[in-house]
Amino acid sequence: MIRWLRLVTTWVAVATMIGIGLIAGLFLVANSGWIAIAVPPWLRDVFGQRPREVWLPALIAGWLLAALLAAALLAGSLYYVWRRRQADATVAKLERELARLRNLPFDAPAPLDDLPEVPNASAAQAMARWSGDSGVGQ
């Protein structure tokens, strides 16, 4: 189900981009003239009083580029925050596991050197015979 949905979403996105490109291309071909842009009052000291002539396709391309860059910046920052939260959650999970493992001996202490708590008398006699000792506990 998810694979099918991802495939359909990808094809819809590609078809939408192709459609937007065709519409923008046809619009720019139909309106490929120069237009006069009035300079805003707060920029008149820099550019002067007279209006500026701008090629309409370049103006529209600039607007589209600015909108795409803003969308890419927003999507990138959202992706960064999402990945950062995933990493923080993983680190917190590993820290909890490490704390649990550090406190393991205090919960259930293991015997020293994994030796039995009570010595076995028959094993002690067998070791004494094997090593050549005459008796146990001399």
* pLDDT tens-digit series, residues 84-94: 999 999 999 99
6 located within any domain? yes
Range of the domain at 66: 34-70
Taking the model in full, what pTM does it have?
0.48
39 within 8 A of 52, measured Cβ to Cβ: yes
Identify whether residues 23 and 41 lie together within a single domain.
no
Identify whether residues 38 and 66 lie together within a single domain.
yes
51 within 8 A of 38, measured Cβ to Cβ: yes
91 located within any domain? no
The three-class DSSP label of residue 34 is strand
79 within 8 A of 89, measured Cβ to Cβ: no
Do β-strands 52-55 and 34-37 pair in parallel, antiparallel, or remain unpaired? antiparallel
92 located within any domain? no
* pLDDT tens-digit series, residues 56-103: 888 888 888 999 999 999 999 999 999 999 999 999 999 988 887 776
64 located within any domain? yes
